[in-house]
Amino acid sequence: MAVVTLIILTNLLFLGLLWAESDSYGPSDIITVLDWPLFFAVGGVISLVVGVVVLVNWLNFSRGGSQVAAALGGTLVQPGTDKPLERRALNIVQELALAANMPVPSLFLLEHELGVNAFAAGTHHTNAVVAITRGALEALNRDELQGVVGHEFSHILNGDMRLSIRLAAMLRGITFIGDLGSILLRIGSHRHHFQSRKKDDGRAAMLALGLGLYLIGLLGGLMAGLIKSAISKQKEYLADASSVQFTRNPDGIGNALKIIGGHANGTFVESARAEEMSHLFFGQVRHRLWSGFATHPPIEQRIRRIDPRWDGKFLPANVDSGVMSSEAEKHADKNDMALRAGIAGFASADVATVLPRNANNTAEMASPAANAALLNETTDPLGAMALLLGMLWNPQHEEPQWQAIEVAGIKGLDDLVRRWCEPLRTQTPSENLIIIERSIPALRGLSPEQYRVFRNLLETWIDADGKTVLQEWCLFQLVCHYLDPELINSHAPRLRHKTLDAVSKDLAITLGALAHLTEEDTERAFRRGAEILSLTMTLPEADAIVMTAFTQSVDELAACYPLLKVTILKAMASVAADDGKISGSELTLIKAIAAVMDCPAPDNLLAAYGIGDGSLAEDLVDPPGSNGLK
């Protein structure tokens, strides 16, 4: 309907144009001047082209749900899967198929999408599919996921998919008129230099036509967008209500919406084609400046319609459900959750899981009494600052260091540092790592201003001798990457690199630095890492790895896409493990790099890499006199 109107509008535009032209010849008799056959020919061609575009898109969209899901990057979840979370999702789909009394649709997983979202696709409920993002799989518990899937089932049952597919095809046809207009405009202005005066009139007509078409397309797009948004929003409310009807559990979808509202990635989906399919999804795919164009109502309104007594508080995602953690360990390479949780997530989840294990390690430390005192100090912000500074103490260049502490003027800090810096010198790298990790939660208690002073102090202490060594770099990165996002407004780097090839030079430097820490064959360790990455790289000389280049390289790696980072971490783990164990200094370096890369899950990764939890814990204690970080 909308398309037909637009075609008529286009034809009217032609009429107007031709009339305007005839006007310049004389207004007497329009009919004779008008070239009717030409008019109909042009009108017909335009109608035909738009019709073909609509048809092609329609056919394209209605190929059945599985193709649509595949186009958006989904993979079929195999019915026999043994991964607990996928198993659970499959069960939920089967349950709801019973509740909705319809055939069981296939389930697709958008493995790379970290936002909490889901969609249904297909023209009919026999070829329908349901797809959920990895974010939804992991952030929602059973009941909540059930609510979300129930919402999608409503879309299937209500025929929303057919409607939206038609809508999408129509929309393409409408915007195509606009595209045509802009093409004409461009051609018209380009030929400016080549055309003779004689054809000037033709050029003007073409420009006018282009402009007219462009405006019609713009108007049509605008109207279509508004209509689509209005229809889509109503459908969403209906689907939310149907979800409650299927599950008889308003808390399921209600809590799911509340989690989405508080989720870092929200419901946003990265896939480029998601935009065309935005109305199929559970939640908004892209951010909209004006809600008039949004395909989904605001989360708050959706929650209020389901739970009118909602207190306005969002819920945290379920990161520590039992099923979740067991899968995270088993399939650490898919640990997107941890990747996504990033630094902020580390705060709540990872430290909690890291600490108990490290606490066990304390028993194995060389002098338990001294270490107990050190670890006790980490619980207090002042003590934690003192310990971290103490690690950076440099007897040869201590003058500027003590001066900086005086300037900073943190009361009692210098005494504490003086007290601990001697005992800290005897610590092994792995013991230092434990102290660093345990200090971070305490430092979280600092005010932003205090933290800034402390951060500056750290930098001054590191620069006291005019150079930065690897150990200092690790300490600084570990502290800053966990605390910066909370205490000072820092933002994550924009992700640029989609392939490992793009960062192969940086990988060589990073892996090289790790390989030089190995106790056996450096070359072999390096090659092992290169194999994991399936890149051919040459091992840089130890002298060639300078700190500035190394820092830059790690920053580049941080701009890789999340799944590449997992591979990179794996490669690093394999380099470090080449000599049969991961030493404290290797572990510190890996953890620091992981912190810069925003993926604080190396424990799981290392465990998954065949270095069992037990052996890792033993390796944490370096043999005395090991060279450690230079």
Partner 1 sequence: MDTTTIISLAVVALLLGWAVVIYNQLVALSNRYQNGFAQIEVQLKRRYDLIPNLVETTKGYLLHERETLEAVVNARNAAASALDALGGSINAEGIQTLSGAENALGAALGKFSVVMEAYPDLKASANVQQLNEELASTENRVAFARQGFNDAVMSYNTYRQSFPNLLIANRFGHTEDAQLLEFDDSEQIQEAPKISFT
Footprint on this chain of partner 1 (rule: CB under 8 A): 84, 87-88, 91-92, 94-96, 98-101, 142, 146, 246, 248, 322-323, 326
Residues 393, 424 contacting (CB under 8 angstroms): yes
Closest approach of partner 1 to the CB of residue 605, in Å: 20
- Cα–Cα dist 4/10, whole Å: 10
- CA 550 to CA 530: how far, in whole Å? 17
Q: Which of 85, 253, 75, 229 is nearest to 154 (CA)?
A: 253
- Identify the three-state secondary structure at position 388: helix
From residue 442, how far is each of 347, 357, 445 by CA, in Å?
A: 11, 18, 6
From the candidates 86, 138, 144, 152, which is the catalytic residue? 152
Beta strands in 440-490 (DSSP E): none
User: What CA–CA distances, in Å, run from 447 to 388, 480, 488?
Assistant: 18, 14, 10
CA 240 to chain centre: 26
- Tokens encoding 359: 């606490």
Q: Rounded to an integer, what distance in angstroms lies between the CA atom of residue 525 and that of residue 520?
A: 8
CB of 317 to partner 1, least distance (A): 17
- What's the closest the beta carbon of residue 151 comes to partner 1, in angstroms? 16
In 3D space, the residue among 538, 438, 516 whose CA is nearest the CA of residue 470 turns out to be 516
From the list 144, 109, 123, 125, the residue with the least C-alpha distance to 271 is 109
Tokens 């164009």 correspond to 293
Smallest gap from Cβ 101 to partner 1, in A, equals 5
Distance CA 212, CA 202 (A): 15
Q: How far is the CB of 96 from partner 1 (least distance, A)?
A: 7
Residue 330 or residue 505: which is nearer to partner 1 going by CB?
A: 330
Q: How far apart are CA 265 and CA 133, in angstroms?
A: 12
* Nearest distance from C-beta of residue 248 to partner 1, angstroms: 7
H helices present in 248-364, as ranges: 250-262, 299-306, 322-330, 336-345, 351-361
For the CB of residue 106, give the shortest distance to partner 1 in the complex, in Å. Answer: 17
CB nearer partner 1, residue 106 or residue 232? 106
Name which of 97 and 596 has its Cβ closer to partner 1: 97
Q: Which residue has the tokens 């480029």?
A: 272
What is the maximal distance between C-alpha atoms in the chain?
Answer: 109
- Cβ at position 148, least distance to partner 1 in Å: 15
Cα 435–Cα 330–Cα 96 angle in degrees, nearest 5: 125
Beta carbon nearer to partner 1, 87 or 505: 87
Q: Are 390 and 415 in contact (CB under 8 A)?
A: no
Active-site residue 556, yes or no? Answer: no
Q: Which is nearer to partner 1, 326 or 534 (CB)?
A: 326
Looking at the Cβ atoms of 84 and 441, the one nearer to partner 1 is 84
The rounded distance, in Å, linking the Cα atoms of 462 and 401 is 9
Residue number, 87 or 286, with CB nearest to partner 1:
87
Rounded Cα–Cα distance for residues 572 and 280 (Å): 40
Q: Which residues are catalytic?
A: 152
